[in-house]
Structure 1
Amino acid sequence: MDSSLWMKISPCGINRDGRSQKSQGKTSPRNTGRFRLDFYQQFQTFRFAVEEINRNPELLPNSTLGFYVYDSCAVLQRELGGTLWMITGLDRVIPNYCCQVHPPLTAVIGHTISTFSILVAHIMGLYRFPQISYYSTSSLLSDKRQFPSFFRTVPSDDFQARGLAQLVLHFKWKWVGLIASNDDYGSEAIKVIRQEVMKEGACVAYTVYISENLLRLPNIVKMIKESSANVIVAVSVPFFLTPLLDEMLKQNVTGKTFVASEAWSISNRLAVNKYVSLLSGTIGFAFFSSEIKGLQEFLNSMTIYNTPGISWAKELWEEGFGCTFADQKNLTVTLNIKKQCSGEENLSSVQNIYNDVSILRASYNIYTAVYVIATALHDLRQCRSLGGALIGNNCFDIGHFKPWQLMSYFRKVRVTLNNARDVFFDKDGNPPAVYDIVNWQLGSDGTIKQVKVGSYDTLNSSGDVFSINTKLIWWATGNQGVPNSVCSQSCPEGFKQSLKEGEPVCCFQCSPCAQGEISNKTDAIECWKCPWDMWPNSKRDRCFLKPIEFLSYEDYLGITLATISTFSSMVPISVFRLFIHYKSTPIVRANNYSVSCILLVSLSFCFLCALAFIGYPQPEKCLLRQAAFGLVFTLCVSCILAKTVIVVFAFMATKPGSSLKKWTTPRVPYMIITICTFIQLTLCIFWLSISPPFFQFNIEAKPGIIVVECNENSQFAFWCMLGYLGMLATVSFTVAFLARRLPDNFNEAKLITFSMLAFLSVWVYFIPASLSAQGKYTVAMEIFAIVTSTWALVFCMFLPKCFIILFRPNINSRENFMRKEGGRK
């Protein structure tokens, strides 16, 4: 027997005494090939299922299933003939004619080869005869427009291709090679695998198709050897893979892991010592296997006299027991066999593929197909309305029905087998996809064993289609774990993938995340920015809260400046008290005692206004601190300007006929101070009304730090305020410089000149320094300018007077004053 079995099953009539069975086997002319024990096991499994159903009182009670079996010997012409023979019911092929007597043909089980199934399905579809294949996997057969009556108990290649792609992704293989046989089976599956793999971000290093043409094999293998892809998905039959593997051995290809399709994942032809170095560690899909209770006893109980197809049974006997029957030719074509078969030998005494039920795949699919047919017949008999098979309320006689009337029951059938799995068909006639995952492992005897390590089940209740025991998997890499297959090594956290020009997306280089960005997973496509109040760590894989920066009283710089400002504010107050004590002396009275007192008080406030810049910048503090600084300093400079103007006016008024005498009254300095300060007050009011300063978190000034600061809002208003202050200082400096040589006792013009020069110098240097500083140091620079410029005024204006008052009292006397006056006269 050289091909799969064709089976015709039909219900026989009801027998008053119970069940009866009509069965027969039919063979075509012999093929000289070797007798296939696995095919004969499938035939006997079919018989076992039929007899089990016939004994079941709950499934088709009082009815008996019968069958015909046809062997086409894998010849396409005989396949066509057998199909027409089953449809017409004649030994001769008469298309479009049926002389069958009842009971009718229920369904056809077969074929194993997709090409043959497609041919048969075209014919069966015309007559709407249900056809169930237990091994044909071509996705073309899912097209219900072409094959409306085709069903199968094995998943479509489309399911397998998607499953293989998911298997590749499950093990995180991102860079794989694809090999396929140059036929419908290989090319269709590879298209789906390629599409699914690339959709999930993995890449295909190469795609090659192999055929009987061996001329291209050396170049193909050379490409495989040189490729960095360590995983190869091979969708092919063993016939095409054999020369490829031979060439790989020849070129000493190592380090590759194969992912096998069901067509060769359990192939004994490839599981030989020759290919151990190449195929050990292979993982792949195989058709689902399950135990069938009682089958082994049934197989071993068979004799040549209790089974249909006596010629097949004798071939099994000759193959299994190494004997020959005396009454016919040696069916096994084995020479020099002298032992004769008696037909009474016990099959349980030998162990071979026929009675090995440890792993049932095709046989289990046949067993399932028989139960699907029986269940559909049972539903038909019970008058279950399943979408239009019934006409009105009439139930069909199970011995008289048309094939199309059974089709709806096939579409809706649901069978629960002994292993608790439900079998049903989707809209394309495909069952739920379930595969065994097998691993090729090197046994202790040096041979390859195909071990089941898990399953792929689209109906898994847990939601995970894969159920894999990774501890059972043996990889060719040994203890190193799952093989690695990538075009580029993974990018660690803190890096992102940067594509190489002209390369697939899996071939990349790792680039560190930009400043302010992180990636907290390997192989990140993009880095993402931290929230505004957070900043990456040094590895750029986590965000943490940014430190907050402001010039605080806990900061060494802040407390130092606050201490200096507070201490400094006491100096003008001390001078003020000294002036009060010596207010009657000439040096105190010489240059307007009252204005000097106002100046000293305002200088003390200048020192203290620096404290408004230290500490957490509250909104109220932001609103008033610059305005307060501008007003206090304007008051100081206005006092100095008033002093300078009074000195000039006093000298000019002594000239005969001078009109400036009226400007030498005591009210003039106060008018100057009031007017100059009012102008600054007006500017500040406009600033605070139109564009007031506000509190803000500045994340731009210093990367990784939140600078809590006051935003002046209008830089124009700020510089107008500062510019007005500078203008007053410049005018005061100019007037004082021109009056520095005027003859007068205790003339302050020189002191004012130096004080204004120092004052202006400080603020001129402050401008570039403040622009270059960042964060709290900008505030510190302004405080430093405030304190320094105020000290310049205190030092230049009052230090010489205090020195004379305290250490040269003889100069600070009326006699000395009068003597100098007389000398000048």
Structure 2
Amino acid sequence: MYHVPVACCNDDLLNLDLNGILVPGDILIGVVIPIHIASLSSMVTFQESPSPDICIMFLIEFYQHFQALRFAVEEINKNPVLLPNRTMGFYVYDSCAALRREIEGTLWMLTGQSQAIPNYCCRKHPPLAAIIGHSKSTYSILMAHILGLFKFPQISYYSTSSLLSDRTRFPSFFRTVPSDSFQFKGLAKLVLHFKWTWVGLIATNDDYGNEAIKIITQEIVKEEACVAYTVYITYNPVSETITNIVNIIKESSANVVIAISVDVYLAPLLDEMIKQNVTGKNFVASEAWSISNLLSAAKYSPILFGTIGFAFQSSKIPGLQEYLNSINPFNTPGLTWAQMLWEESFNCTFSVLTNQTMVMNNLKNTCSGEESLGGIHNGYNDVSTLRTSYNIYTAVHVIAKALHDLSQCQFLNGPLFGEKCSQIEHFKPYQLLYYFKNVHLKLSNNRDIFFDKDGNPPAVYDIVNWQSGLHDTMKQVKVGSYDTLNSSVDVFILNTSLLWWGEVYQEAPLSVCSQSCQVGFKKLVKRGKHMCCFQCVPCTQAEISNQTDSIECWKCPWDMWPNSARDKCFPKPIEFLSYEDPLGFSLAATIAFSCIVPISIFYLFIQYKSTPIVRANNYYVSCILLVSLWFCFLCALAFIGYPQPEKCLLRQAAFGLIFALCVSCILAKTIIVVFAFMATKPGSSLKKWTTPRVPYMIITICTLAQFILCLIWLSVSPPFQQYNIEAKLGIIVVECNENSQFAFWCMLGYLGVLASVSFTVAFLARRLPDNFNEAKLITFSMLAFLSVWVYFIPASLSAQGKYIVSMEIFAILISSWALVACMFFPKCFIILFRPDKNSRENLMGNRRRK
């Protein structure tokens, strides 16, 4: 194995310092990762070639990433199923997280020479399959422009910018970390999950922060939550600016703050919050600082205790820890890096110092190389929460699976229709790119890995909660996950028993501009304020709201009514004049008793039909009148009980016909009395109208007219059953609608005409001799009849519901009783109690006295 790359044109070993290594294989992959995180650059004079950058800050956590890469490659090379009979090798270049070195390392791998030459590659064998990198989204964007021109596969383990999802600009870019757009949407959903509708937003003033603000705001507003304020921070903030930002946070009623930033940008803001003693604000962290060691310091604990946020998914890699602890500083690719690890881990130095930081510390302990990494626990061999290392491990397996699929290519089923399949040793980048797009594999954590149309993997994040750790520091505890592959109901998996919100809040903090409106109320947004700042207004009398924070109240169905809390609709009580109702029962009992009276009188008339007083008043017409009066009382029962459609159709018509028959009988009796008296005068022409057929003709004609009127009414505009919800608030009045008020009043008016004619004729005949004095009784009966129905008109117009029906029943009973009392009680009194007057001599005597 070599510590410098091999130039493929002439197989010369070219010196590239100690910044890159090559592990040979049948197929190579290029890896550009930072082992250091800082570099020293010389001044550019433009008079000579600039000297290479010098990396100065070695991180053992980043060295773990490199070993995870080696472990994945060796695991694949040992797999007899995946790429059998072929080995994978790799280039690794230490970029120091510097743009110049990222470009330099990528072009070095592409050209196959120590000098980075754009658009040039003389390497023929072994082929370079893909490049893993780069460390930042900005660097990945730059290299994706170059690699995309040649459709050369690029897979990033750390770049999250959503700009890289643009396939027209970056057709060959893939990644094993989710796009930021997934994270920002997830953070918004996390906020809404805890019902935080009033939040503050803090973001860095760059593409990362601006995109976050845009997406989070859109998602929050879409769910009718609000952003209380939006502020931007920079790496070198002016003290006055930081103070103003903290004042905004302090004075706002929003208790939840979403912070989209890296830790070094956020630290000055937190320092100012500590200075101003700002507490009671709960932070929501983006993945850029959710597991920050810098901010886990004890001094930030009063502010950051209870913070909840997203972190890249952590997973286990079986066998990795044993592999990490088996490293030896003398027989490992990248010896210089391995010796740096030793110096950092065991606080010693080799005879030739390799770590610049150790030079400054001037340590004298000598490293033997026999020390055991298994005896210590540090950021290198800590595999409890593998995130970046697992993403690199995944990237290597994705490349291997794509190569394996390429090796299994079948004719006419490859990337180009009609072309022969390429050999695995001689393939074009675009051919492998085809298999990248269609790769699908399952790793040790049982997660399916594949790419969507934009080159993004399924988005999965850990949800971490900042809790108390050792020595007043903070630790990040995994309390759940956010998985976009789950159903919409189970996107969040949270173990609420593990959540800890700090000393200020014993449970999830409340962050709202206005308290929730309870059921029975609706939100009314205050003028000039956010939609989350509202007042609660009770629903009107006929409306309900059955959920909290309702923006409107809903009317109950026509047959329902709100309860007292106005959160439910219940059926409206139905009102009609029923037999169970005390009023209905009383009227029914009165009707039953009243029906007995005309039947009893009828029976009495039959018993005394041969007596003069019965015969003198036209026995048969009186019988018809008594039967019609019995029907008058009986028809009142049709107005009691549930108004069925058939009952509604016939009851008014029956009432009109029966009363027409009744009043026609009285009219016939009145006219016959007058005709009989007038016919006794000599030469009277009315004698021919005193025949027995005349009263029956009058009854028939008068009743027939009412029958025709009712028939027209029922044919043209028949009455019907009606549910009246306007008569009484909150009550359904079941009633009969006459449909045509005109027809109803015509029918009633016709009765009035008959009664008026009878009254007039009887009044004019009131002074006839006593044996014909029935005219007086008719006068009184018609006067009572007319009085009752004249009173009924205004009374019915002022009554509502069942009381209208009660008024009509009352009018029927009173008018019927008036007819019975005035027409028959005097006769019954004579028949029963003064039989001496029920004689022909008495009647004739009266006539002589007159």
What is the TM-score normalised by the length of structure 1? Answer: 0.89
3-state secondary structure, aligned to 2:594: helix
Q: Deviations over 1:380-408 (max 9, x none)?
A: 33435696447867554444433333222
Partners in 1 of 2:729 and 2:444 — Cα distance? 68
- SS of alignment partner, residue 415 of structure 1: strand
Q: Does residue 627 of structure 1 match 2:653?
A: yes
Q: Deviations over 1:199-250 (max 9, x none)?
A: 3343333333322444344443333334343332222211222233233334
Residue 12 of structure 1 corresponds to: 25
Q: Which residue of 1 aligns with 2:82?
A: 59
Partner of 1:300: 325
The Cα shift of 1:352 comes to: 1.6
In the TM superposition, residue 722 of structure 1 has moved relative to its aligned partner by 0.7
d(CA) in 2 for partners of 1:463 and 1:377?
Answer: 37
In the alignment, what sits opposite 2:456?
A: 430
Distance 2:95 2:33 in 1: 16
- The equivalent residue for 1:313 is 338
Residue 695 of structure 2 corresponds to which residue in structure 1?
Answer: 669
Query: What RMSD over aligned residues (CA atoms) do the two structures have, in Å?
Result: 3.5
Once the two structures are superposed, the pairs formed by residues 388-427 of structure 1 within 5 Å of their partners are 388-389=414-415, 394-427=420-453
CA contact (8 A) 1:6 1:109 kept: no
Residue type of the alignment partner of 1:358: S
Distance change (3 Å), C-alpha of 1:689 and 1:149: closer
Q: Structure 1: state its 5+ residue gaps.
A: none
Aligned to 2:250: 225
Cα pair 2:257 2:282 within 8 Å, conserved: yes
Give yes or no for the alignment of 1:174 onto 2:162.
Answer: no
The answer as to whether partners of 1:45 and 1:366 remain within 8 angstroms in 2 is: yes
Structure 2 counterpart of 1:286, from 304, 311, 336:
311
Residues 799 and 501 (structure 1), Cα distance of their counterparts in 2 relative to 1, 3 Å cut:
farther
SS of 1:334 mapped into structure 2: helix
Q: Which runs of 5+ in 2 are unaligned?
A: 1-17, 40-51
Residue deviations 1:621-650, cap 9 Å, x none? 333322221121112222222333344445
The more displaced of 402-411 and 131-140 is 402-411
1:444 deviates by 7.1
2:800 matched to 1:777? Answer: no
Q: How does 1:23-102 map to 2 (within 5 A)?
A: 29=52, 31=54, 33-100=56-123, 102=125
Selected match of 1:361 from 383, 387, 400? 387
Q: Which residue of 1 aligns with 2:225?
A: 202
Alignment match of 2:375 (pick from 332, 336, 349):
349
Q: How does 1:745-756 map to 2 (within 5 A)?
A: 747-756=773-782
Residue 482 (structure 2) aligned to one of 447, 452, 456 = 456
Distance in 2 (CA, whole Å) between partners of 1:462 and 1:677 is 76
CA contact (8 A) 1:9 1:105 kept: no
**Counterpart contact for 2:771–2:844, Cα < 8 Å:** no
Change (3 A) 1:490 1:120: same
1:434-488 deviation per Cα after TM superposition (whole angstroms, max 9, x unaligned): 1111111224753321001122223348973322222212224778533333334
Shift of 1:263: 0.5
The alpha-carbon distance between structure 1 residues 532 and 6, as it changes in their structure 2 partners (threshold 3 A), is farther
Q: What is the identity, as a one-letter code, of the residue corresponding to 1:752?
A: I
The answer (yes or no) to whether the contact 2:154–2:172 under 8 Å persists in 1 is yes
- Seen in structure 2, the aligned counterparts of structure 1 residues 679 and 357 have a Cα distance that, compared at 3 Å, is same
Deviations, residues 285-327 of structure 1 (Å, cap 9, x unaligned): 1111111222222222223322333333333333222233444
The answer to whether the 8 Å contact 2:33/2:135 transfers is no
Q: Specify the alignment match of 2:600 in structure 1.
A: 574
Secondary structure (helix, strand or coil) at the match of 1:229 reads coil
| Equivalent residues of 2:601, 2:828 under 8 A apart | yes
1:721 pairs with one of 747, 750, 773? 747
Q: Which residue type is aligned with residue 119 of structure 2?
A: N
2:512 aligned partner: 486
Equivalent position SS for 1:270? helix
How far apart are residue 280 of structure 1 and its match? 1.6
Is the 1:7–1:110 Cα contact (8 Å) retained in structure 2?
Answer: no
1:152 aligns with 2:165: no
Cα offsets for 1:248-302 (capped at 9, x unmatched): 3344443332221111111111122222232222211111111122222222222
One-letter amino acid matched to 2:128: L
* Structure 2 letter corresponding to 1:452: K
Task: Look up the match of 1:138.
Answer: 161
Which SS does the other structure have where 1:147 is aligned? coil
Relative distance call for 1:69 and 1:583 in structure 2 (3 A) is closer
Given that 2:348 and 2:363 are in contact with CA atoms closer than 8 Å, whether structure 1 keeps it comes out as yes
What does residue 48 of structure 2 align with?
none
- Whether 1:266 aligns to 2:291 is yes
Distance 1:381 1:520 in 2: 62
Q: Deviations over 1:390-429 (max 9, x none)?
A: 7867554444433333222222223322222222222222
- What is the CA–CA distance in structure 2 between the aligned matches of 1:380 and 1:557, rounded to whole Å? 94
Greater shift, 265-274 or 655-664, is seen at 655-664
Q: Would the aligned equivalents of 1:386 and 1:408 in 2 still touch at CA under 8 Å? A: no
Query: Is the CA contact 1:10–1:107 (under 8 Å) kept in the aligned structure 2?
Result: no
Shift of 1:563: 1.9
Q: Find the aligned partners of 2:271 and 2:230 in 1 and give their Cα distance.
A: 19
Partner in structure 1 of residue 791 of structure 2: 765
Question: SS in structure 1 opposite 2:516?
Answer: coil
Find the aligned partners of 1:238 and 1:137 in 2 and give their Cα distance. Answer: 17
Equivalent residue number for residue 381 of structure 1: 407
**Cα separation, partners in 2 of 1:90 and 1:684, compared to 1, 3 Å:** same
Moved more, 354-363 or 170-179: 170-179
Give the conservation status (yes or no) of the 8 Å contact 2:778–2:823: yes
Q: Which residue number in structure 2 is paired with residue 730 of structure 1?
A: 756
Q: Write the distance in 1 (CA, Å) between the matches of 2:670 and 2:472.
A: 112
Q: Distance in 1 between matches of 2:830 and 2:678?
A: 27
- 1:51 Cα deviation after fit: 2.7
1:786 Cα offset (Å): 0.6
- Determine helix, strand or coil for the equivalent of 2:310: strand
Q: Distance in 1 between matches of 2:243 and 2:411?
A: 61
Q: Could you tell me which amino acid in structure 2 is paired with residue 12 of structure 1?
A: G
